[in-house]
Structure 1
Amino acid sequence: MNLHGVDLNLMVALNVLLREKSVTRAAEFLGITQPAMSNALKRLRQLFDDPLLVRTSEGMKPTERAQHLEPHVRDLLIQVEQVVQPVNKFAPEKSEHFYRIAVSDYGESALMPLVLAKLREMAPHISIDIMAPSDVSSHDVEQGFVDFVINRFDELPQSFYQTLLWRDNFKCVFAADNTIANNFDFDSYMEAQHIWVSKTGMGVDVGVNPDDVQRLGWVDAALNCIDKKRHISVFTRHYQAALQMVEVSEMIVTLPSKAAQLQKHNPNLVFVPPPFGIPPLELTMAWSPLLHFNPAHQWLRRLVADVAHEHADTSIRPNFEHRTNRELEEATVSP
């Protein structure tokens, strides 16, 4: 193939067309007219000698050739972006960069105050929009609309980069005047009513299924391993709300230690280790390969990781690294 006849802008158009599966939506995303996008698709079909997208009763569908091309086109654009990145170093003390990040309630409460203290010292002019993971989708992150997401994840798209920020043990919290305070053990724990607090992944959650134990998280999965199931009376996604509720009730909340520490000076609450083993919770930062080589993004990502690692529990300190899910999967099958 004569590369002189290949327009790189066509690869950008192809990437968006295969993602949106609509000429109209692709044109809107790139800010061009629909006829211009239709012409780009015509040129792409000539270039690859394949229709790429075909109309069906369910809308436009990619051909087999298009499905094969999609990851290669995405990787090509990532490499091009890396090549054309400016060589100037990011100057945080002068930058007025605007970041958009999605952070779970746990991460926002336990980690972000530490990060913001560092930011005010090192980059006083930048701005941050802190969103909830339910405000964004995997698609938003993959396309770089969100700089990164901090949460605990059951699964992530293969293309995402990720790094483990810290691991955290659990604490049981209840009111000091709760009758369980006089005899806290496994039996009294199981007889009590509980507040569940958690949220994994991204996107809008349709609600909790109390019978789907594996999706309820660390605590209930650990109980399920010993054929036990606790009685959950309240489901919430906010740690501060859960701590406030146990203070005025006979209920117990079992939550990560760093979240429990938000109320560690409250004399009305008792903090004790769970009466059974629970694997540590993992807080992870994930981001799009499209932003991986962006200097401003790299700087903030490194700062967040450094702050998290500095405050990680040394007794359960993880092996910190950032890799894509694809690399992690390959590492598990490599000799």
Structure 2
Amino acid sequence: MIDLRGIDLNLLVSLDALLAESNVTRAAERLHLTQPAVSTQLSRLRQIFGDPLLLPAETGRGMTRTARALELMEPLHAALKNLEAVVRHQSVFDPHTDTRRFVIAAHDNATAVLGMRLMERLPASAGPGVRVAFLIGDQPTAASRLESGEIDLLLGSDRMIPPSMKVRKLYDEHFVFVQRKGHPRGDAPLDLDTYCALDHVLVSTSGGSFHGFMDEHLDELGRERRVALSLQHFALVPELLSKTDYVSTLPSRFATRYADRLDTFALPFEARGFTLYAGWHPRNQADPALVWLREMLAELAEQ
């Protein structure tokens, strides 16, 4: 049995030409190699197959194929053609006719802002074979879940996406102050004293914390606010604010989705924002289905 691990694919390409031409010189011209180089390859092929493959013709012109060479000709040529087709094949994805299940992991902020737009666009952009599942993003397990294929894309800040993954920037985000329409504070511009005196709702994705990103900024200013409630999901905040006098600081794109019931104001201090990225495993870099999904998300993010 031949050990394929020791065979250079180029040797098989040369063998195909040698068997077709039955002539080292013509095979060399066909392969764009020198005659000595092809002669060396023929010697190596004879060792591999344990057969002379080509013998000098009795007429003294050209060479004659051995029985083993005749057996090899057709299957070798067909195998090389199939391999060429595999290498040259460019897979495609048609969202209207193909079947694919996508799994996206994200915090509910990204799901509400970008995921919602994807869900709204999906009926017009894909057929019934395309389905999308959203899971809660969890940074500690993100790398293993991408590695195992449990999730296809991870939406989050740069801190959420493992450095070994491929990434694409989707958008830059900043924070705004949010209160219900008709809030007793009124609609005057916000100052720092007022901000700190109000009862705030904090979204703590890790759960249970009363000290968040905005509190870190206030610490630098030597100030503090009262965080009355801590929730783990952004989706609960708009409903809660619309029925109480609580206030919150939320990503601007998320807050904009609830402009019918909430008023937004600029923060009374400089606050760092964040950038939302899409992350995926390097093995899926050229997957046409995931390329389509990433392009769709990037287009929605630009809008």
Task: Name the TM-score, length of structure 1 as normaliser.
Answer: 0.59
Per-residue Cα deviation, 1:6-51 (whole angstroms, up to 9, x for no partner): 9xxxxxxxxxxxxxxxxxxxxxxxxxxxxxxxxxxxxxxxxxxxxx
Is 1:298 matched up with 2:302?
A: no
**Which structure is higher in RCO with an 8 Å CA cutoff and minimum separation 6?**
1
Q: Would you say the 8 A contact 1:256–1:281 is kept in 2? A: no
C-alpha separation in 1, matches of 2:293 and 2:240: 35
- Tell me by how many angstroms 1:224 deviates: 2.8
Aligned equivalent of 1:91: 94
What is aligned with 1:190? 196
Rate the CA distance shift 1:292–1:283 in 2: closer, same or farther, 3 A: same
Distance 1:239 1:117, change over 3 A: same
**CA offsets 1:137-192 (integer angstroms, 9 cap, x no match):** 32011232211011224253221111111112222111334332266421011111
Say how many residue pairs are matched.
220
Would you say 1:105 and 2:108 are equivalent positions? yes
Q: Is the 8 A contact 1:197 1:239 kept in 2?
A: yes
Structure 1 partner of 2:54:
none
2:137 corresponds to which of 133, 137, 140: 133
Structure 1 runs, 4 residues or longer, greater than 4 Å off: 83-86
CA RMSD of aligned residues (A): 2.7
Counterparts of 1:153 and 1:273, CA distance in 2: 25
Q: What is the one-letter code of the residue matched to 1:115?
A: L
TM alignment of 1:116-155, pairs within 5 A: 116-125=119-128, 126-134=130-138, 137-155=142-160
Correspondences of 1:283-294 after superposition (within 5 Å): 283-294=276-287
Which is higher, the Rg of structure 1 or of structure 2? 2
Residue 254 of structure 1 is matched in structure 2 by 249
Q: Which runs of 5+ in 2 are unaligned?
A: 8-85
Going from structure 1 to structure 2, the CA distance change for 1:118 and 1:245 (only over 3 Å counts) comes to closer
Aligned partner (choices 171, 182, 185) of residue 180 of structure 1: 185
Among candidates 115, 118, 127, match of residue 115 of structure 1: 118
Distance across 2 between alignment mates of 1:246 and 1:118 = 28
Are the aligned partners of 1:243 and 1:253 in contact in 2 as well (CA < 8 Å)?
Answer: no
Q: Is the 8 A contact 1:163 1:284 kept in 2?
A: yes
Secondary structure of the 2:98 match is coil
SS class of match (1:113): helix
| Aligned with 2:267 (options 271, 274, 279) | 274
Q: List alignment gaps of at least 5 residues for structure 1.
A: 7-82, 200-204, 312-335
Superposition deviation, residue 233 in structure 1 = 1.5
How far the C-alpha of 1:209 sits from its partner, in A, is 4.0
* Secondary structure, aligned partner of 2:229: strand
Whichever residue aligns with residue 185 of structure 1, its letter is D
**Post-superposition CA distance 1:169-227 (Å, at most 9, x none):** 2221113343322664210111112111253xxxxx4x3444xx5xx33x233323323
Structure 1: which amino acid aligns with 2:125?
A: M
Give the alignment's TM-score, normalised by structure 2: 0.65
Q: Which deviates further from its counterpart, 158-167 or 146-155?
A: 146-155
| Residue in structure 2 matched with residue 242 of structure 1 by the alignment | 237
Cα 1:133/1:3, change in 2 over 3 Å: same
CA contact (8 A) 1:142 1:289 kept: no
| Partners of 1:254 and 1:85 in 2: CA distance | 52
The 3 A distance-change label for structure 1 pair 231 and 164 is same
Contact 1:143/1:290 (<8 A) preserved? no
For the residue of structure 2 that corresponds to 1:101, the secondary structure is strand
Give the letter aligned to residue 98 of structure 1.
R
Q: Give the secondary-structure state (helix, strand or coil) at the position aligned to 2:257.
A: helix
Q: CA deviation at 1:308?
A: 0.9
Sequence identity percentage:
22
